[in-house]
């Protein structure tokens, strides 16, 4: 059984844990404090989840997830994550994170910086344009569900949505594609990481992040993106 190791137990991390368990995965989740602080969350998630320290979650992971914003001072369990696919769910939002000149100038993307933090891992940008909370305007009861549940559809469904994956490693793209499929989404490969700006906030595809877009629509919107440098 595949284990998802989630580093970060906020809204994104805890919701992705729920979705992973619903899709048949085991989950080990960690926060910046101690496992004991996650007892209530783990009880809600059920027997397929357990809490651990970050290094323990990384060591147990078949697939790891970083569910927190990038910071250059982050101390990540690089040794435990070596050789593993690491899904980075972060978006660059300067109003929240401050400005990083390399990103602002177009020299690098935020996910390339994450890859530099984890040089022995295979980083993939994933789950960055799907909401882990309820819809901002509730129209019907189903809108109370986080979009990762609300928009999920079985393979072949006419209204199935697609999500972007970007990586410098084809094997990481394959892992994310399978993971997306298990959770109810198609995948669009927008590799390498240097191209991941095409799915950043403010781009044409981002305007559809609330209710999603089909694979064909997503491909078209990625192609329409134009880079704005600061």
How far the first Cα of the chain sits from its last, in Å, is 45
| pLDDT over threshold 80, residue 230 | no
Q: Is residue 54 part of a domain?
A: no
Based on the structure, what is the number of domains in the chain?
A: 1
DSSP conformation letters of 5-25: EEE--SHHHHHHHHHHHHTT-
Ranking 18-27, 113-122, 133-142, 164-173 by mean pLDDT, the lowest is 133-142
Q: Is residue 88 part of a domain?
A: yes
Interatomic CA distance for residues 25 and 199, integer angstroms: 27
Q: Is residue 219 part of a domain?
A: yes
- Please give the helix or strand (H or E) that residue 66 lies within, else none: strand 63-66
Pairing of strands 186-189, 122-126: unpaired
Task: Kindly report whether the global pTM for this prediction surpasses the value 0.75.
Answer: yes
CB 27 within 8 A of CB 179: no
Q: Is residue 127 part of a domain?
A: yes
- In a 13 Å sphere around the CA of 17, the CA atoms on its Cβ side amount to 31
Cα separations (Å) of 156 from 109, 186, 219?
33, 9, 18
Confidence at residue 223, expressed as pLDDT on a 0 to 100 scale = 98
What is the domain extent for residue 80? 69-224
Tokens standing for residue 41: 């969350």
pLDDT tens profile 53-97: 999 999 999 999 999 999 999 999 999 999 999 999 999 998 888
DSSP conformation letters of 136-189: SS--SGGGGS-HHHHT---TT-TT--EEEEEES-HHHHHHHHHHHHHHT-EEEE
Return the CATH number at 172: 3.40.50
Q: Is residue 105 part of a domain?
A: yes
- Count Cβ atoms below 10 Å from residue 22 Cβ, excluding itself: 16
The number of helix segments (H) and strand segments (E) in the chain equals: 10, 8
């Amino acid at each position: 059984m595949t284990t998802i190791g989630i580093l970060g137990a906020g809204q994104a991390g805890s919701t992705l844990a729920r979705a992973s368990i619903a899709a048949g995965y085991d989950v080990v989740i960690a926060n910046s404090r101690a496992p004991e602080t996650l007892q209530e969350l783990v009880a809600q998630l059920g027997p397929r989840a357990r809490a651990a320290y970050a290094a323990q979650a990384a060591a147990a992971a078949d697939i790891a997830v970083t569910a927190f914003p990038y910071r250059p001072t982050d101390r990540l369990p690089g040794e435990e994550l070596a050789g593993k696919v690491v899904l980075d769910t972060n978006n660059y939002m300067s109003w929240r994170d401050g400005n990083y000149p390399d990103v602002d100038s177009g020299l690098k993307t935020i996910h390339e910086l994450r890859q530099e933090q984890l040089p022995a891992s295979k980083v993939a940008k994933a789950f960055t344009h799907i909401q882990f909370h309820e819809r901002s305007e509730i129209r019907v009861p189903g809108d109370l569900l986080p979009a990762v549940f609300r928009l999920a559809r079985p393979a072949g469904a006419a209204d199935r949505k697609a999500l972007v994956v970007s990586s410098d490693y084809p094997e990481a793209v394959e892992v994310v594609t399978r993971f997306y499929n298990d959770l109810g989404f198609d995948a669009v490969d927008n590799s390498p990481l240097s191209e991941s700006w095409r799915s950043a906030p403010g781009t044409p595809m981002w305007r559809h992040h609330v209710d999603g877009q089909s694979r064909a629509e997503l491909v078209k919107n990625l192609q329409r993106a134009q880079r704005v440098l600061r």
